[in-house]
Structure formats: C-alpha cells, structure tokens
C-alpha cells in the first residue's frame, strides 16, 4: 500500500478526555493505525498506535451503580465500571457506548530496554440521546478496527452504512494444548494468567485441553479432526512442541494440516528454545514477558513457514524442529538429571564436572555442505559405487517407537527459568477436557503402534554409503550438535545466523584436542553467541560451526553415549538428518 493510501482517513471523531473536560482529542483511524491527536492553540501532539499493536476492541456500556454509590453522572476514567452491551446490569441513565481498544505498545528504544506495555484506549460515544445510536457508532469503529487487525478489505459500505446486522464475525478458533506439569508445574497458571486474558481481549474462541500424561498431546493431535481449529497453541516446553509436531506426522493428512494449521508456542517449560527463537526471529522483546510474543502471535493469526528436519535412526523416524545432539551437551543434559534437586545450578555443576573429566567419542561424522542440494548430491549417488542399499524407505514408513520415551530437561535454559511479569486480570476461559473422538476425528486413536507419514527421505538409507560430495570427519569428538534455530534454550544463542526458514542445519563440531580453556570459553560463549565468532577464529581447528543440508553420525558402537533429538533421548547408534525447508508453519508475532 502506498503512503497516500495508508494515510487515508477511514474514521474520525472528536473526544474529550474523561477527567479533564477541556482537553480535546481528535481520534483518527487510518490503515497505519489509531491516531490520537491533541491540537490546541498551545501545541500539536500526535501519537499513532500501529494496527499491528492493537489486538482487539470491545463495545461496553456503563454498569449500574450500587445504591450507596455517589459517583458523578460523568464517570471519571478511574471510577468507570463497564459491562457487556447486553448485560442486565447496565446503567440506563448513561446512554454512552464505550469502545475499549486493547493495544500492546513497544516502549523503550534500545534493544536492551525494549518491552511491550498493555494499554487500553477508551472511547466514549455519547453524541446521540439513545444508547442504541451511540452503540451503533461504537460498533462501526469496532468493526473497522477488527477488519484492519485481520487485514480484511474495507469498502465504503463497511465504513458508512454499517448496521448491527453487519457486525464483525470471528471465523477463527484455537486449540490450546497445555502441559500443566511443564516447567515448575506452572503451565496451567501461565495459560490462565498470561494467555487467556489476551485471547479474550481479542475475542477469539478456543478449546483448552490439559495434557493428562506423556504423549497426550501427540495422541490428541494424531486422532482429532484438527480442521475445526485455525491454529494449535501449545503451552509448555520443547517437549510438548515435539509431541504436537510428531503427532501431525502420524496423520495421513499431515501435508494439509502442517500447511494450513499453524502451531503457536507459549514458553512454559524448562526448555523453551523454539519460543525464544521465534521471538528472536521476529525481533520481539522476550523478557520480561516471555509469553507475550506467543500470545500476540496467536491472536494476530500471523504465521510463517519453518524448516523441519527429518531424523532417522535405526529404530525410528522423527520430525525435529530444534536439534540433534551427540556428546558433551547431550551428556550434560541427560546426566545432570540425577542432580535434579539442585534446580538450574545442576547444569553448571555438571558442566564443570564434565569439563574436568572430559569424555570424547569415536565415530564418523558425514555432512553435506549447505551449498550442495540434497537432490543434486543424490544424482551422483546413482553411480555404481554407491549402490547396494539394503533398506530403501518408501514414501510411507511404518516404524514403531517405544511408548513414553524419557524426556530430559534442557540444559540450555534451566538458568533462565524466570517468571513472566505481564499482569492481566479477569481471566476466564471456556474449556473442554473431554478428549473422546468427535465427528471428523482420525479413527486410529486406539492403534498403539506409531505410523510415521511425512515427506520421503531424499537421503540414501542409513545403512548405505553416501555420495562423494559428502564431507567426512573421522576421529574422536567432544561433541556434534546440530540446530536449525538460533536458540537451543532461553539463554543459549547457539546459531546466531540461523533463521526460522533459512533451509540450513547449523552443525557445531567440537573435535577432540580442544584445550579445556577453549572448551570453557566455548561453553561460556553459548549464552551470547560469542562462541560462533571466537571459536571460528581462535579454535577453528577444533571447533567449527558449519551450515549443512544433511548429516549422518556413525558412533563407534563399542562405546556408550547419548544422542538426543529436540532434547528427547533416542537410542545410541547411527543417526542421519536432512532439512526440509519450510515444511512446518509456526505463529510469529
Ligand atoms: N500431565 C502430564 N503428566 C506427566 N507428563 C506429562 C503430562 N503432560 C505432558 N507430559 C510430558 O512432559 C514432557 C515435558 O514437557 P514440556 O517440554 O512441556 O515441559 P518441560 O518443563 O520443558 O519439560 P522437562 O520436564 O523436560 O523440563 C512432555 O514430553 C510430555 O510428554
């Protein structure tokens, strides 16, 4: 839209500030936002609230005063009490209609002090004698604001001839899957206090389901008719995200679901790598209100494609959104579990312990650099040298996973288990906890085996040799950790250059031989991303961050170790992974 069109005045009205009758404000609505203009003889002041920052608006009316109330007939803003327009508790003596506009406005101009503040703008319509006429005017504003928020077209009819029969109708409906056990058991509280109030302000209906056991979210997503919802919001850590994504790939209609129903991620766990990465990608302030970017994304309905990685082990196929790890970081992640009582400090203690008693693992790492497409590499794979595949995977693969695989805490973010400070009141929600199958549900809910669908692999099978243009490192490794997001956790900027949909896997390789000082520096650098600069310079020989399209790890099976996928512990053994650019879709503020 050109700037002239953006400035077109859609609606304009003069209002008085409730507390100071002499103060006049011109309020103007354009495609840019809501303009609050104070134009007096002394000065001209204009504040624009961008449409992007407005999440909703409601028409309300005055609440009937209690008998002993001595409030004036013109309510002051701080004494004003309002009710819904159809409430039986309304004050008939006040014929005004009130439009409440909810906005979350960026405050602060530096990256370090930027945060959003909740602001309510109240417009009182009282030009007419009858409430119905004032309400009609307020409804007209509401309808236009709602359309602007949703990016819907506006024509002269919607602007001028609005009538009550043309009120805004909400077509969206969200599914919320909340893990009450995530983080410090605060999942439910986070939803009720931080998310529900915002969804209610935006007047988006939702169905809330609390997860009842490990894999509940995965089973729910696999078995229900998801097309009754326009988005799925998960509240919890990366574990619940993993379940939701892999539940989608257990559906034969995964391709439709993944493209049309975006996933929203509200950080409520101890590992919130994806939520942090999404906020980083969108340049949204994350602290002090880490749940706010996700809530805003959910109500705005804005989403973007996200790369997913298809991971294959000898026993299962997984779709990963965050990481694959072998060695140091995975060891710390899993082994520090035994120090659980120490809370977040257990990771620090275990990191030091592991640096002192440094382990390394023998194996081979293969990778396909990001400038060689997998498909091109596979053309070469057709050469006779590389034939002899023992296991060709078809487009549909049926493999079984164990039930209830152990979930491990994420090392990367336990330090950042902070509470969110955004305060919202008056939480209310509709909730359905009945998870029985309904009309349109996928009828394989009782099937205990896991059937993985999803795009077919473009790689040679795990037991087959790789094409010549793959690079190979053979030796001892302190760790190999791959990520496709910037952050592995709230405090771990692992791959500073990564984007949600850059079509790359960022492979961090630490070879045996790096000194303890280099390793310590590397671990400390993870919180700020300094390792990506420092280690490529000073320790480049041992520590490398390499963008790739695919990789394979073949650990020496005479040794023991840990391998994790998105923080989930998988069997120790050969593993390969390939990027599927833009396969998923996530809500982005
Ligand atoms: N009601 C429940 N009872 C027990 N476990 C559950 C329940 N709901 C979900 N889970 C499991 O909890 C695991 C961890 O969840 P999530 O990632 O949301 O939180 P977290 O705090 O980051 O987890 P972690 O315990 O790994 O730190 C999920 O993988 C899921 O299988």
Q: What is the CATH number of the domain that holds 115?
A: 2.30.29
Mean pLDDT over 361-371 rounds to 96
Ligand 1 atom index nearest CA of 243: 29
User: Which residues are paired to 568 by β-bridges?
Assistant: 407, 565
Phi then psi dihedrals of residue 273, to 5 deg: -60, -45
Does residue 358 carry a pLDDT above 90?
no
Q: How far is CA 425 from CA 189, 198, 428, 471, in A?
A: 13, 10, 9, 56
Q: Hey, which of 237, 418, 570 would you mutate to test ligand 1's pocket, going by the most ligand atoms within 8 Å of its Cβ?
A: 237
Ligand 1 atom index nearest CA of 218: 31
Q: How many angstroms does the Cα of residue 571 sit away from the middle of ligand 1?
A: 20
150: in domain: yes
pLDDT grade for 338, boundaries at 50, 70 and 90: low
So what's the pLDDT on residue 71? 43
Ligand 1 atom index nearest CA of 568: 29
**Of all residues in the chain, what percent carry a pLDDT higher than 70?**
78
pLDDT grade for 443, boundaries at 50, 70 and 90: very low
User: Ligand 1 atom 20: the closest Cα is on which residue?
Assistant: 269
So what's the pLDDT on residue 264? 98
So what's the pLDDT on residue 102? 96
267 lines ligand 1 (CB under 6 A): no
User: 224 is written with which tokens?
Assistant: 């229900």
- On average, the pLDDT of the chain sits at 81
User: Which of 61-70, 182-191, 398-407, 412-421 is the least confident region?
Assistant: 412-421
130: in domain: yes
So what's the pLDDT on residue 395? 43
407 lines ligand 1 (CB under 6 A): yes
User: Ligand 1 atom 2: the closest Cα is on which residue?
Assistant: 213
Mean pLDDT over 93-101 rounds to 89
Does residue 341 carry a pLDDT above 70?
no
Q: How many angstroms does the Cα of residue 327 sit away from the middle of ligand 1?
A: 23
313: in domain: no
Does residue 528 carry a pLDDT above 90?
no
Q: What's the domain count of the chain?
A: 2
CATH number at residue 354: 2.60.200.40
Higher-pLDDT residue of 78, 137: 137
Does residue 325 carry a pLDDT above 70?
yes
So what's the pLDDT on residue 415? 30
Ligand 1 atom index nearest CA of 184: 21
Most trustworthy range by pLDDT among 392-401, 474-483, 491-500:
474-483
Higher-pLDDT residue of 579, 419: 579
Does residue 350 carry a pLDDT above 80?
no
Higher-pLDDT residue of 281, 430: 281
| Domain boundary pick from 143, 166, 189 | 166
Rounded Cα distance, 208 and 195, in Å = 11
pLDDT grade for 22, boundaries at 50, 70 and 90: low
Catalytic residue IDs: 238
Q: What ipTM did this prediction achieve?
A: 0.96
Phi then psi dihedrals of residue 572, to 5 deg: -75, 125
247 lines ligand 1 (CB under 6 A): no
So what's the pLDDT on residue 434? 38
Ligand 1 atom index nearest CA of 271: 22
In this predicted model, what pLDDT tens digit does every residue of 29-38 receive, in sequence order? 999 999 999 8
Does residue 578 carry a pLDDT above 80?
yes
In this predicted model, what pLDDT tens digit does every residue of 255-308 receive, in sequence order? 999 999 999 999 998 889 999 999 999 999 999 999 999 999 999 999 999 999
Q: How far is CA 279 from CA 286, 295, 421, 530, 587, in A?
A: 6, 11, 17, 20, 10
Higher-pLDDT residue of 162, 125: 125
409 lines ligand 1 (CB under 6 A): yes
For residues 118 and 104, the answer to whether their CB atoms sit within 8 Å is yes
Q: Which residues have C-beta within 8 Å of that of residue 21, sequence separation ≥ 6?
A: 74
Does residue 44 carry a pLDDT above 70?
yes
User: Ligand 1 atom 14: the closest Cα is on which residue?
Assistant: 239
For residues 464 and 495, the answer to whether their CB atoms sit within 8 Å is no
User: Ligand 1 atom 4: the closest Cα is on which residue?
Assistant: 213
Q: How many angstroms does the Cα of residue 237 sit away from the middle of ligand 1?
A: 7
239 lines ligand 1 (CB under 6 A): yes
Q: Supply the range of the domain harboring residue 385.
A: 323-397+454-581
Q: How many angstroms does the Cα of residue 15 sit away from the middle of ligand 1?
A: 50
181 lines ligand 1 (CB under 6 A): yes
Does residue 152 carry a pLDDT above 60?
yes
Rounded Cα distance, 168 and 163, in Å = 11
| Domain boundary pick from 137, 166, 195 | 166
User: Which of 195-204, 268-277, 448-457 is the least confident region?
Assistant: 448-457
User: Ligand 1 atom 24: the closest Cα is on which residue?
Assistant: 409
431: in domain: no
330: in domain: yes
Mean pLDDT over 50-54 rounds to 96
252: in domain: no
Q: How many angstroms does the Cα of residue 188 sit away from the middle of ligand 1?
A: 12
350: in domain: yes
Instruction: Look up residue 191 and give its DSSP letter.
Output: I
In this predicted model, what pLDDT tens digit does every residue of 221-240 receive, in sequence order? 999 999 999 999 999 999 99
User: Ligand 1 atom 15: the closest Cα is on which residue?
Assistant: 239
309: in domain: no
Q: How many angstroms does the Cα of residue 211 sit away from the middle of ligand 1?
A: 9
pLDDT grade for 538, boundaries at 50, 70 and 90: low
Rounded Cα distance, 298 and 306, in Å = 16
So what's the pLDDT on residue 217? 98
**Of all residues in the chain, what percent carry a pLDDT higher than 90?**
55
Q: How many angstroms does the Cα of residue 241 sit away from the middle of ligand 1?
A: 10
237 lines ligand 1 (CB under 6 A): yes
| Domain boundary pick from 124, 140, 166 | 166
Q: How many angstroms does the Cα of residue 262 sit away from the middle of ligand 1?
A: 21
């Amino acid at each position: 839209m050109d700037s002239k069109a953006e400035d077109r005045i859609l609606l304009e009205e003069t209002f008085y500030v409730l507390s100071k009758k002499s103060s006049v404000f011109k309020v103007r609505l354009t495609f840019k936002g809501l303009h609050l203009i104070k134009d007096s003889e002394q000065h001209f002041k204009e504040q624009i609230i961008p449409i992007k920052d407005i999440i909703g608006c409601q028409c309300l009316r005055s609440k009937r005063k209690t008998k002993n109330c001595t409030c004036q007939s013109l309510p002051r803003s701080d004494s004003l009490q309002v009710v819904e327009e159809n409430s039986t508790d309304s004050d008939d003596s006040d014929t005004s209609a009130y439009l409440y506009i909810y906005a979350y406005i960026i405050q602060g101009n530096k990256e370090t002090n930027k945060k959003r503040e909740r602001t309510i703008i109240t417009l009182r319509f009282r030009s007419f004698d009858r409430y119905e006429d004032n309400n009609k005017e307020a409804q007209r504003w509401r309808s236009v604001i709602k359309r602007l928020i949703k990016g819907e077209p506006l024509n002269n009819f919607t602007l001028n001839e609005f009538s009550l029969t043309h009120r805004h109708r909400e077509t969206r409906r969200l599914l919320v899957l909340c893990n009450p056990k995530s983080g410090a058991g605060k999942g439910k509280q986070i939803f009720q206090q931080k998310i529900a109030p915002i969804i209610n302000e935006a007047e988006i209906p939702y169905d809330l389901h609390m997860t009842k056991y490990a894999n509940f979210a995965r089973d729910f997503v696999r078995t229900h008719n998801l097309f009754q919802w326009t988005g799925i919001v998960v509240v919890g850590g990366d574990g619940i995200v993993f379940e939701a994504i892999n539940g989608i790939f257990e559906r034969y209609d995964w391709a439709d679901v993944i493209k049309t129903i975006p996933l929203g991620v509200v950080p409520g766990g101890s590992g919130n790598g994806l939520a942090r990465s999404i906020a980083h990608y969108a340049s949204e302030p994350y602290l002090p209100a880490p749940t706010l970017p996700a809530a805003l994304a959910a109500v705005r309905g804005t989403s973007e494609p996200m790369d997913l990685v298809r991971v294959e082990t000898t026993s299962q196929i997984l779709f990963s959104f965050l990481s694959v790890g072998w060695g140091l970081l995975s060891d710390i992640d899993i082994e520090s579990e035994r120090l659980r009582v120490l809370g977040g400090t257990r990771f620090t203690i275990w990191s030091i312990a592991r640096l002192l008693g440094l382990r390394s693992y023998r194996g081979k790492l293969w990778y396909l650099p990001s400038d060689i497409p997998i498909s091109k590499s596979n053309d070469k794979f057709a050469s006779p040298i590389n034939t002899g595949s023992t296991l060709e995977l078809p487009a549909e693969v049926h493999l079984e996973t164990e039930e209830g695989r152990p979930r491990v805490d994420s090392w990367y973010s336990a330090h950042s288990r902070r509470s969110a400070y955004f305060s919202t009141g008056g939480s209310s929600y509709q909730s359905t906890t009945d998870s029985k199958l309904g009309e349109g549900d996928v009828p394989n809910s009782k099937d205990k085996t896991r059937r993985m669908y999803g795009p077919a692999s473009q790689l040679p099978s795990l037991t087959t040799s790789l094409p010549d243009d793959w690079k190979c490192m053979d030796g001892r490794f302190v760790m190999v950790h791959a990520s496709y997001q910037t952050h592995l956790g709230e405090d771990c900027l692992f791959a500073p250059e990564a984007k949600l949909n850059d079509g790359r896997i960022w492979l961090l390789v630490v070879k045996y031989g790096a000194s303890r000082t280099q390793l310590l520096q590397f671990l400390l650098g993870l919180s700020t991303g300094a390792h990506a600069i420092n280690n490529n310079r000073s320790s480049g020989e041992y520590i490398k961050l390499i963008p790739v399209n695919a990789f394979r790890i073949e650990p020496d099976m005479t040794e023991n170790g840990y391998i994790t996928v998105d923080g989930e512990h998988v069997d120790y053994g050969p593993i390969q992974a390939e990027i599927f650019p833009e396969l998923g879709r996530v809500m982005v503020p």
